[in-house]
Structure 1
Amino acid sequence: MIDLSWMAWTWPTAIFFVAIFALIALMGVWEYVVPGGAPRVGVLRFETTRGDRLFVSLLGSAFICLGWLWATDLSLWYALIVCALFFVLVFRLV
């Protein structure tokens, strides 16, 4: 078992960062398998690529989680559901 106490990390924090690295790796594999994720203009009216949409999704999810912590005492698992919906909407509409 890995001891993460030296950095005061928790397992959920470690899983969060592993998930971000996995998303970036999957985007690389996706681009390799299906090259040419051409820029497109969505509802924000500026060109975005797959990587741009991933970045917007991750940044927006961070703000959703921070807002969730500020606004409610409910579990962050509910915020994760909101973040997943946000992720899908960004990749569909932006």
Structure 2
Amino acid sequence: MAWTLPTALFFVGIAVMLAAMTVWELVSPTAEAKGFLPMRTTRGDRLFIGLLGSAFLHLGWLAATDATLWGALAVSLLWTAFVIRFG
């Protein structure tokens, strides 16, 4: 893997999300909730599902188009936000 600025920003972004979720959990403990996902989930579960879905969206984007990944990033951010909020 080439350690470029985008690669570093990706890993920093994941670390910031995990740190923010940890602080959020300490301030306001979560309870399992049922949303549109077919199971009861916590905020951490929904973050993981959102990140996993984002990886698949990026792979699908790469397979389907020659466009830059900025579009996939925008779709992934919306997907993750949607899953965390309504999942």
User: TM-score per shorter chain, which class?
Assistant: over 0.9
> Considering only CA atoms, is the larger Rg found in Structure 1 or Structure 2?
1
TM-score normalised over the length of structure 1: 0.86
Give unmatched runs, 5+ long, in structure 2: none
Tell me the distance in 2 between the aligned counterparts of 1:38 and 1:85: 23
The one-letter code sitting in structure 2 at the alignment partner of 1:14 is A
Query: How many matched pairs?
Result: 87
Greater relative contact order structure (CA < 8 Å, 6+ sep): 2
**Higher strand content, 1 or 2:** 1
Counterpart among 43, 49, 55 of residue 50 in structure 1: 43
Tell me the distance in 2 between the aligned counterparts of 1:70 and 1:86: 19
Please name the residue that 1:61 is paired with.
54
Indicate the percent of aligned positions where both proteins have the same amino acid. Answer: 57
